[in-house]
Amino acid sequence: MDRNAWVRHFHYSPAFNPVKVDSVSDVNDELNKNTVSVVSILPDDVLERILAILPIASIFRAGCVCKRWHEIVVSKRFLWNFSFITSAQKPWYFMFTGTDEFFGYSYDPTLRKWYSIDLPHFVTSNWFIASSFGLVCFMNNDSINELHVCNPVTKCSKKLVEPSGIKSSDYTALAISVNKTSHKYKVSIVRSKQVPENFYEWNLSIHIYSSETMTWTTSLTEVLNGWRAGDESVICDGALYFLLYSTGVGMCDHRHGLIKYRLSNRSSKGLLMSNFIPAPCSLTCGRLMNLKEKLVMVGGIGKHDRSDIIKGIGIWVLNGKNWVEVAKMPHKYFQGFGEFDDVFASSGTEDIIYIQSYGAPALLLFDMNQKQWKWSQKCPVTKRFPLQLFTGFCFEPRLEVSPFKLGEV
Q: What is the pLDDT of residue 304?
A: 76
Whole-number pLDDT of residue 30? 45
Q: Is the pLDDT of residue 35 over 90?
A: no
Bridge-based pairing state of the strands 310-319 and 294-302: antiparallel
| Residue 15: band (very low, low, confident or very high) from pLDDT cuts 50, 70, 90 | very low
> Is the pLDDT reported for residue 16 higher than 80?
no
Q: What's the CA gap between 81 and 174, in Å, rounded?
A: 32
Q: How far apart are CA 293 and CA 319, in angstroms?
A: 12
Q: Is the pLDDT of residue 24 over 70?
A: no
Contact 64, 70 (CB under 8 A): yes
| Residue range(s) defining the domain that contains residue 293 | 281-378
Element (H, E) at 218: strand 215-225
For the chain, the average pLDDT equals 80
In a domain, 362, yes or no: yes
Torsion over CA: 2, 281, 257, 363 (sign): positive
Q: CA 24, CA 30: separation in Å to the nearest integer?
A: 10
287-333 pLDDT per residue, tens: 999 999 999 999 999 887 777 788 899 999 999 999 999 999 998 88
Residue 80: inside a domain, yes or no?
no
Q: Which residue has the higher pLDDT, 253 or 399?
A: 399
On whether residue 253 sits in a domain, the answer given is no
* Residue at 125 is within a domain: no
Span 238-266, average pLDDT: 82
Which residues is 225 bridged to in the sheet? 201
Count of structural domains within the chain = 1
Instruction: Indicate whether 374 pLDDT > 70.
Output: yes
Q: Residue 204 pLDDT > 60, yes or no?
A: yes
Cα 115 to Cα 99: distance, rounded to the nearest angstrom: 19
* Displacement of CA 153 from its chain's centroid (Å): 13
pLDDT computed for residue 327 by the predictor: 96
What does the pLDDT look like over 85-136, one tens digit per residue? 555 678 999 988 755 445 688 999 988 999 887 776 666 656 899 999 999 9
Element (H, E) at 337: helix 331-338
Q: Is residue 73 part of a domain?
A: no
147 in any annotated domain: no
Considering the domain boundaries, does residue 316 fall inside one?
Answer: yes
Q: Is residue 325 a part of any domain in this protein?
A: yes
